[in-house]
Structure 1
Amino acid sequence: MTDEMQTFLSPATHGFVRIACVTPKVHIADPQANLAEHISLAKRADEAGADLVVFPELSLSAYAIDDLFTQEVLLESCKEALEALIRESENIRSILIVGVPLIISGAIYNCAAILHRGNCIGIVPKTYLPNYREYYEKRYFASGSQLMGEAPMLKDSKGRGYALFVDSKVPVFRAYGFEAFSFGVEICEDVWSPVTPSTRLALNGATIIVNLSASPVVVGKSRARKRLCAATSERLICCYAYSAAGPGESTTDLAWDGQSLIYEMGDLLAEGERFTSDTMTLADIDVNRIIQDRLRNGTFNDARVFSAANQDMFRTFSYTPHNLTDFHRSVPRFPYVPADKERLDEDCYEAFNIQVHGLMQRLSTSHTQNVVIGISGGLDSTHAVIVACKAFDRLGIPRTNIHGYTMPGFGTSTGSRNDALKLMKALGISSEVLDIRPAAKRMLLDIGHPFSRGERVYDVNFENVQAGLRTDFLFRLAGEKKGFVVGTGDLSELALGWCTYGVGDHMSHYNVNCGAPKTLIQHLIRWAAAKEFDARTGRILQSVLEREISPELVPIEAGVIQRTEDKVGPYELQDFNLYYITRYGLKPSKVAFLSYQAWKDKYTLPEIRKWLELFLLRFFTLSQFKRSAVPNGPKLISGGALSPRGDWRAPSDGNAKIWLDELKANVPE
């Protein structure tokens, strides 16, 4: 592997921070035995490339030791173990976050100590102390909410003593030269509080929040933790890493399960095995994506301002990224299509009904009882007509008021034409065949196109004459039927500009598909076939799904098989690119890295780079003027609409230079 490829394939190159939540075997009130467990796990995590290693609450002492926390020998032994771990950390690249009881300003505090390269760079005390049911923490500990003082004298790896100032503001720790890598610490009960330290930490700039926990387990507790961590990471637009104490804790009346959870903006990235010890749960966190999402969220910035957050309050640390090429994160191939069947079913239900109700509203407010749809037998027009059928059903309008036209041109195949006719018949809509070839020949003759002189010239203008005539007929037919044209063009075509301006898939009176990417439409049709229509219609819909995507504009006898994806790239790759470029604004090189992680067993890196380069060119340079004039249509996906009235607004005369330059400079050929 070349150095260039090594650099490209390292997650650290693309702004990923690797977290390890570890669960050591707990030795009750035996800090030296716990120290040995910590050293072993810290070295394993460092070898695995971890940047942050998160231990459980009070990991050096154990949690369930009750009044032993007030024993001088225990507290001294914990301090000695902490100093020994500080010395061991000198040769460990990872940042270690460990739990330890410490005497500060004459009281005992439940603390997290942040260790790095032979020093303790911070002490964070627990704010909220549970004192109900089985919890008695106020019996031993003081709350860190008002702490103003110094940590006990600690010795660094050189044996030099130093004191660390601690206050109630709970600082954010930030890496030199990598501001997006910034983290804060809270401890167990802190996340259960109505007012959490994590809120202040996130508003002060922390992209990662870690929680050291020793929460005992009862039936259903693990689900509650997951709900809390998921909601916190989504609400605060951050990563939330939770590391709980496990086997070995005292079981006088309670048990511990060692649950490890790592969430990013509501999504579970990794979960450790419960009821085991000496384990490590790894995940690569996309901190740059977190920053990008915060930039797009004005409410987050308002909350920062209203709360008087102090983003200048940081403790900085040196950061040496790993150069490993393994990747601890699952990258979905189809970001618009959930892999989980239950969630996919729910998403299809919602998307389909959004489309249906959007069309119902337009029909109601325009007092219209008729629509016109051009039906080719392809994916998009098929989906548009089944949406229209359900809208008419729910409004109590007969389906015969849906006027479907299949308009064969010079390249229309028998299969697609037959599917279109079968579909219209099965759905019970009005159907007609309108052959556009005579009109097309006349127009080609009038404009002096070589085809009219018998030459086999099948250029873009030859294709656009057919597309334009279909639209002309549909709009005039809508006037005759006293209705409007339902559009069929999808989100993927809009992103790539794969539509003729003002005609075809670009223009209509209302477009039900404008928010649906191509990869999702296939699943929507499959879902509707199973859930909304009879078996006969379902078989026809399945036939449509099996046909290769083609504009069918060039005569079959020309010997040219038109495949749309030969021109614009595989839709599965281009939908992937669309998602990460528009939803998160990621650099092209990072999109290529993620695409490679998702698709490397099907596409080579040069292929991924080639189609991403085409996407950038078409999206930023060739297509925006078309998107600036699109008709109304329902938004389906958060952050995924390309209407100029919605999520994406851009100059019609922009260019793709800086995106193309970034791609070429950072992605190996």
Structure 2
Amino acid sequence: MRFDNLYSHDFARIAVGVPLCRVADPAFNAAQTIALLNQAAADGVAVMAFPELGLSAYSCDDLFHQRALLDGCEVALAEVLAATADLPLVAIVGLPLRVEQRLFNCAAVLLRGRILGVVPKTFLPNYGEFYEARQFCSGEEATVDTVTLLGQQVPFGSRQVFAADDMPLLRLHVEICEDVWTPIPPSSFAALAGATVLVNLSASNVVIGKAAYRRQLVSQQSARCLAAYVYSSAGAGESTTDMAWDGQALICENGELLVESERFLRSARLVTADVDLERLSRERMRQSTFGNSVRLHAGQVRAFRQVPFTLGLEHDRPLALRRRVERFPYVPADHSRRDERCEEVYNIQVQGLTQRLASSGIHKLVVGISGGLDSTHALLVAARAMDALGLPRTNILGVTMPGFATGERTRAQALRLMAAVGCEAREIDIRPSCEQMLRDIGHPHREGAPVYDVTFENVQAGERTSHLFRLANLTGGLVLGTGDLSELALGWCTYGVGDHMSHYNVNASVPKTLIQHLVRWVAETHQLGEGTDSQVLLDILSTEISPELVPGGLQSTEAVVGPYALQDFNLFYTLRHGYAPAKVAFLAHHAWQEVYMLAEIKRVLRIFVQRFFRGSQFKRSCVPNAPKVGSGGSLSPRGDWRAPSDSEAAVWLADLDRIPDQGQP
């Protein structure tokens, strides 16, 4: 199996075909269906759905009781079935079928010349413009569970899950049109029975507002069922005696619309989407209420039968992912949504901080200001919290504490920032107290022969933290933490000091890439007030991220831990979705290949795996209180992440070693 084949990473390419049709012309409709099938197979599609009653057309009315039409539909089905003989693709087509002297509106599930099963429609609309009960029987009225069709013994019934043995996460269920418009659709129980891809063959005439309603209906059903939902509609060629048709096709995944067809076309169309089956499976494992629902509806679940099949997809050829993967999963790409996200994050952080201040009876904050990104954001949150409480911003004590390697740029930015915010500002030179500490502990550092080791760095970090806590004692304040989610994930924080320990931390569930956008949003929208120095925020954003602890040149954080853009990407898919490194790298390469070679993505991911899974958990197990801001997760042991402090990274590193450096098999 190739690394650069989407099926190697539990994606499945799903398609909806909306062919041209002719009313009561099964031969023409079969030819149109076969043409789209061949096109889809060449594109690597695994599952393809067509419209309801597509071989006959939906709008035949009482023609459905004519033997010639019904015979012609079975001949058309045989033609489509023969065309699937060499196609590694499940085709789901609609037609009327006679079973035990009754007529059913059915979906036939076809693969490689075999009819896997036939699914009858359960709920027949008989209101408004619909008269289906005049021609058809509900699938619930069937008295058999097997039929003979085109010489094959075929499972018959609505409670079937079609299970691919060579793609364990691909489980299909089929329902028809009105079934999903009911209070409890059959697909809801099918999802509890394990179906991950729910397929709806629909005709669905169009009226004003119906397209939007369909979109909402399909999206919500996919979200409730933690599934992909595939929806078809009839298009051009259906009778317009009393109705019109728009050919809307939709594919949704867990509430997200992946693709929608153009409507009202006078030509056939094919839409595809790459569905992440692992994501769906992971969400079902994660959400305990899904399992509870299985237990509560055990009788309905046990009524389903599994129909196994072998898809036989080609895994030995490149098949690139055709799906938008955001480079910054924590940050919306759309500008308006990004602004909305920024405001929401600030409101969550401010609400958490104001509640902590109000409940503790403390009205003052102490914040260490480095002139860098994280402390800037924490100070901005503190200012908005004071505004919300009706307290003066001078109740915030901002303290900048230059050390042995503090640059003039960051020092000046810290002072400008505190002036722009309007808090009380102090500057404390920590070098004398650090030198005393180094002497007291017998550190070999001397002016003539300096030793810049971890102890030298952490003495400075520790002195800053000690000053902040003692200032909080002196002023009756609360020390506000500044460390962010990305630093916690990578263990890039010193245990017990300012980027790890505080009385309350507003940044602990906010990743570095999102903090950058939050600060930019404040600057661009003048949240500090018109006429204030917003330029200082932009200057801070353009400053290299550095701890500034070792003299003699720029100490770059990203040179050690890797680019935060990649590390936040790795964090999101590891923490939120639980993906193994090979899949994370596959997604990262898809999103970032114009910027980073696969070898660099793999190198940075190795840093993440080693730092996240081994050696850093003990820091995360005792983090201060902090509000969770997003569904992307947090690392608090009281929230999203509980892990042993002494685990190994061996299985993740082994999976990482499966990744080629250049994207070859």
Q: What amino acid does structure 2 have at the position aligned with 1:647?
A: D
- Match of residue 534, structure 2, among 526, 535, 538: 538
Aligned residue for 1:283?
Answer: 273
Question: Structure 1's 634 and 86: CA in aligned 2 closer, same or farther, altered over 3 A?
Answer: same
1:112-261 matched pairs, under 5 angstroms = 112-149=107-144, 153-155=148-150, 161-168=151-158, 170-261=159-250
Q: Aligned equivalents of 2:634 and 2:303: distance in 1?
A: 32
TM-score by length of 2: 0.96
- Match of residue 513, structure 1, among 479, 482, 507: 507
Instruction: Give the secondary structure class of the aligned counterpart of 2:127.
Output: coil
Is 1:85 aligned to 2:80, yes or no? yes
Q: How many corresponding residue pairs?
A: 655
Q: Give the conservation status (yes or no) of the 8 Å contact 2:160–2:304.
A: no
Is 1:313 aligned to 2:305, yes or no? yes
Aligned residue for 1:16?
Answer: 11
Is 1:554 aligned to 2:522, yes or no? no
Q: What amino acid does structure 2 have at the position aligned with 1:549?
A: I
Aligned residue for 1:294?
Answer: 284
Q: Aligned equivalents of 1:314 and 1:668: distance in 2?
A: 40
Instruction: Give the secondary structure class of the aligned counterpart of 1:285.
Output: strand
Aligned residue for 1:158?
Answer: none
Is 1:656 aligned to 2:649, yes or no? yes
> 1:303 Cα shift?
0.2
> 1:261 Cα shift?
1.2
- Match of residue 48, structure 2, among 40, 53, 58: 53
Aligned residue for 1:594?
Answer: 587
Stretch deviating more after TM superposition (296-305 or 210-219): 210-219
Aligned residue for 1:268?
Answer: 257
Deviation string 1:534-567 (CA, Å, 9 cap, x unpaired) is 2423222122112121111122xx1x32111111
Aligned residue for 2:106?
Answer: 111
Q: Aligned equivalents of 2:140 and 2:327: distance in 1?
A: 45
Q: Aligned equivalents of 2:554 and 2:439: distance in 1?
A: 25
Is 1:642 aligned to 2:635, yes or no? yes
Is 1:488 aligned to 2:482, yes or no? yes
> 1:417 Cα shift?
1.2
Q: What amino acid does structure 2 have at the position aligned with 1:154?
A: L
Q: Give the conservation status (yes or no) of the 8 Å contact 1:490–1:517.
A: yes
Q: Aligned equivalents of 2:455 and 2:262: distance in 1?
A: 61
Q: What amino acid does structure 2 have at the position aligned with 1:134?
A: E
Q: Aligned equivalents of 2:554 and 2:220: distance in 1?
A: 50
> 1:668 Cα shift?
4.0
Q: Give the conservation status (yes or no) of the 8 Å contact 2:198–2:228.
A: yes
Q: What amino acid does structure 2 have at the position aligned with 1:396?
A: G
Q: Give the conservation status (yes or no) of the 8 Å contact 1:247–1:257.
A: yes
> 1:341 Cα shift?
2.3
> 1:313 Cα shift?
2.5
Aligned residue for 1:385?
Answer: 379
Aligned residue for 1:456?
Answer: 450
Instruction: Give the secondary structure class of the aligned counterpart of 2:250.
Output: strand
Q: Aligned equivalents of 2:363 and 2:468: distance in 1?
A: 16
Percent of aligned positions that are identical: 52
Question: Structure 1's 140 and 312: CA in aligned 2 closer, same or farther, altered over 3 A?
Answer: closer
Q: Give the conservation status (yes or no) of the 8 Å contact 1:639–1:647.
A: no
Q: What amino acid does structure 2 have at the position aligned with 1:539?
A: Q
> 1:24 Cα shift?
0.4
> 1:483 Cα shift?
1.2
Aligned residue for 1:75?
Answer: 70
Stretch deviating more after TM superposition (249-258 or 473-482): 249-258
> 1:415 Cα shift?
1.4
> 1:150 Cα shift?
5.2
Q: Aligned equivalents of 1:546 and 1:666: distance in 2?
A: 34
Q: What amino acid does structure 2 have at the position aligned with 1:489?
A: G
- Match of residue 561, structure 2, among 568, 571, 592: 568
Q: What amino acid does structure 2 have at the position aligned with 1:121?
A: L
> 1:346 Cα shift?
2.1
Is 1:418 aligned to 2:412, yes or no? yes
Instruction: Give the secondary structure class of the aligned counterpart of 1:380.
Output: helix
Stretch deviating more after TM superposition (302-311 or 357-366): 302-311
Deviation string 1:380-438 (CA, Å, 9 cap, x unpaired) is 10110110111111111111110000111111111111111111111110000011111
- Match of residue 304, structure 1, among 294, 300, 305: 294
Q: What amino acid does structure 2 have at the position aligned with 1:60?
A: L
Instruction: Give the secondary structure class of the aligned counterpart of 2:367.
Output: strand
Q: Aligned equivalents of 1:203 and 1:593: distance in 2?
A: 30
> 1:152 Cα shift?
5.2
TM-score by length of 1: 0.96
> 1:511 Cα shift?
0.1
What is the root-mean-square deviation in Å for CA atoms of aligned residues? 1.4
